[in-house]
Structure 1
Amino acid sequence: MAHEELSPFRQVWRRVVIAAVVLLATVLIVWLDRDAYRDGNQIGIDLLDAFYYATVTLSTTGYGDITPLTDAARLVNILVITPLRILFLIVLIGTTLEALTTRTREEFRIRRWRSHVRQHVIVCGYGTKGRSAIRSLQAYGTPLEQIVVVDPEPRAIDEANSLGLTGIVGDASRTDVLRRASIERARAVIVAANRDDASVLITLTVRQLNAGVPITTSVREEENAQLLRQSGADTVITTSATAGRLLGLSTDAPRVVATVEDLVTGGQGLDLQQRRVTAGEVGLGPRQLRDIVLSVTRGGRTLRFDDPLIGTLEAEDVLVVVRSHPPGGQIAV
């Protein structure tokens, strides 16, 4: 189970509540013994004076305009209010130091990581789609150290970090955030945002910063797919349309849906793989290979396995094949 920590806002809010409780407790102590204090030449103080005295006493050493008169009041100040002052300062200073320490630690970790990382994959969005994409990357042999997650939610990044991923809190459509993720050295970018407009902005920013990196993005509405391609995405996956087609197939051809699910779930059963033609396969037909060939890409054009234009395989051809996943191992390359 992923480690969960309180968000920075909740941590600060909790400490503010503690500080307020300490302040109110001090006011109550002073108010109950209000006749034992002097404000200038006046004996006794009112509720406003009690708040004033408690505030300046907890936050400073006091101004001396309101002072305790009796030995009992002075003893209460020594034994009760002084420890409350120390607790109050610890709460406030601790919040500041924790925030600075956390930020410094995070910046140091990212700087150290940036100095070593090369050919990594950036996943923009750590929701359901982003998590599934990361599981597929792992199944196909990408180590966790080579996967970077960018998400605006601190809790999502905390979870990603607890699993061994490198996480960066921020909006992936911002230039500075993507540069922190070393976008210029990435080998691929996966855009798994929850909204189509966010996907467009992220894709545009990625393409501006790295003109050559392959971008794969998801889109909810099919009519936005072309917009994503125009924004610079190399591959656009329409999640709602794809899910709808599978739902329709499930009625009359449930085994087809099961097989498709098997194919797209890496690390078990049947796996889809993209690879280049080996030297021993040059000159053969697609049906003569041990692997089941689904398509052949030649000169930037993708041909189906039964297209007569394929003829025999050439040295620069790229194949999409179906392989059986070896039990307990990664997908062979």
Structure 2
Amino acid sequence: MWIFRIDEPRLGAIRIREWRRRARHTVGMLALLLGGTTLGLLLLDQSNTPFAKKSFTALWDGLNLVTTLGNFSELDEHQKVFMLLAMFATLLIGGFALSRLTGMLSGDDVMIYRENRAMEYKLEHLSNHVVVVGFHSLGELVAKHLREAEEAVLVLVADQTQADRAADRGYMVVLGLPGVFDDVLRHARLDRARALVVTTPDSNNNLAITLIAHRINASLAIAVPGENALRKDLLESAGATTVLIADELVANALVGKLAARVGTMK
């Protein structure tokens, strides 16, 4: 899948613009060559052929030269000499184009630029999805269960390694460093999301993310883990709709399993 990077390298966009400028320059040179070749052949044509037909023939030969098709009409000696010069000019322009254009669009920065443009379109049309913040073991497990439930999942991370792993698993990813994570949340289309699940191990980050997400969409369902009762109260005050304390869940599960085991032994 694709990764949208908030801190997109500027060099990719610069390379794209420069490639386009060089491509326009090359096309302009070919157009000048075509025009010059057509005019030269027309002036060198001393036959009694009607002017319209001579013009068409000259244009036909010029196009065959520029496009390298090679299907030329009959040429006299003067026209052949002229065409030799035009062919040499064509080779020069072709070599110029190869040297100036080849390889410019294959760099990592250009690939990231293209990937970001594609992801912008995907994010713009994304709706009714579930956003998972973090892709540690918990976040990966949550995303896996959501996908098995046929939910559209968007993963938000602040780490390149997590972003790559999530993308390799087939998830759409928005990547941004902690200093720009506000922008990450804004790009997650929380205004059209079904729910948000916060899974990062940093409780302070979880609280800040909950506050921002609730501010963006006050009706958004937000699930987040909490360490204790105090932290649960803080998260609920920040806008969390579901706060789970891991120790309580484990304790309840253990006691429940034990009670069931003891009950069967009586």
Q: 1:126 is matched with which residue: 109, 120, 135?
A: 135
SS of residue paired to 2:154? strand
Match of 2:211 in 1: 204
Is 1:236–2:243 an aligned residue pair? yes
SS of 2:132's partner is strand
Corresponding position of 1:227: 234
**Is the Cα–Cα contact under 8 Å of residues 199 and 217 in structure 1 kept in the other structure?**
yes
- 2: distance between equivalents of 1:254 and 1:237? 25
TM-score under structure 1 length normalisation: 0.44
Aligned counterparts, 1:53-202, within 5 A = 98-142=107-151, 146-171=152-177, 174-202=181-209
Kept in 1: contact 2:158–2:181 (CA 8 A): no
4+ residue runs over 3 A deviation: 247-256
CA distance in structure 2 between the partners assigned to 1:254 and 1:195 by the alignment:
36
Residue 253 of structure 1 and its aligned partner are, at CA, apart by 3.4
Kept in 2: contact 1:110–1:180 (CA 8 A): no
CA distance in 1: counterparts of 2:214 and 2:262, whole angstroms: 40
Spell out, residue by residue over 1:2-44, the C-alpha distance to the aligned partner (whole angstroms, 9 max, x if none). Answer: xxxxxxxxxxxxxxxxxxxxxxxxxxxxxxxxxxxxxxxxxxx
Residues 159 and 177, structure 2, Cα contact 8 Å, conserved in 1: no
Return closer, same or farther for 1:106/1:221 CA change in 2, 3 Å cut-off: farther
Unaligned residue ranges in structure 2 (runs of 5+): 1-102
- Say how many residue pairs are matched: 159
Higher helix share: 2
Q: Which blocks of at least 5 consecutive residues in structure 1 are unaligned?
A: 1-93, 257-333
Deviations 1:77-118 (A, max 9, x none): xxxxxxxxxxxxxxxxx9xx7442243133113212123211
Could you tell me how far apart the structure 2 residues matched to 1:253 and 1:210 are?
Answer: 42
Q: Scaled by the length of structure 2, what TM-score is found?
A: 0.54
Indicate the RMSD between aligned Cα atoms, in angstroms: 2.6
The C-alpha deviation readout for 1:193-215, integer Å capped at 9, x for no partner, is 11211110110010111111111
AA paired with 2:148? A
Higher relative contact order (CA 8 A, sep 6+): 2
Identity over aligned pairs, percent: 25
Aligned-partner Cα distance in 2 for 1:212–1:249 = 34
Is the partner of 1:141 in helix, strand or coil? coil
Contact 1:148 1:181 in 2 (8 A): yes
